[in-house]
Amino acid sequence: MQEPGAMEAELARMDTRFIFRRILTTRDTGAISLSPEWWGPPDRDIPLPPWLPKEYVDRLAAKFDETGFAGAINFYRCLNLNWELTAPWTGAKVAVPTKYMAGEEAMSCSYTGVQEYIHKGGLKGDVPGLEEVAVVAGAAHCIHLEKPEEVTEHIYDFIKRF
């Protein structure tokens, strides 16, 4: 496990608004990295797409300026602990009616094996209640911001059946 403080110190050296502009607008398919090559020059302007208002980034950055990144980073630090704590439910299936949605350009969807898992039965095996898979074209991680009407329509069409 990574020692607390190292990653936080790296991020503290960067402008929080720049961090969120880069992360929220990326269409890179590799993992987010702290390497200077991934981030690019810290003084470069990263234009915001129409779906990402400056006020949203400012509000998000202000919160992280207050609290730091420890809480967000700790989510990843405790992934192994989460597996240990949820061990009693290993193999449990999600049997309730389910719809899975993801942006086709989401970084996590580009990881090795993810597409096969989603579309060739792996997800359905773990989630027997899976009724639909919706891949939102032209969207990445923030599908609710990038394609709000389409996401709302998917959700509404799914829940109106019940």
Residue partners of 73: CB distance under 8 A and separation at least 6: 7, 8
Summarised one tens digit per residue, pLDDT across range 17-26 is: 999 999 999 8
Each of the 162 residues of the chain gets a pLDDT tens digit; together they read 567 888 898 889 899 999 999 999 988 877 777 788 888 888 888 999 999 999 999 999 999 999 999 999 999 899 999 999 999 999 999 999 999 999 999 888 888 899 999 999 999 999 999 999 999 999 999 999 999 999 999 999 999 999
Contact in structure between 26 and 2 (CB atoms under 8 Å): no
Q: CA–CA separation, 83 vs 85, rounded Å? A: 6
Instruction: Give the burial string for 116-131 (b: 16+ CB within 10 Å, else e).
Output: ebbeeeebbeebeebe
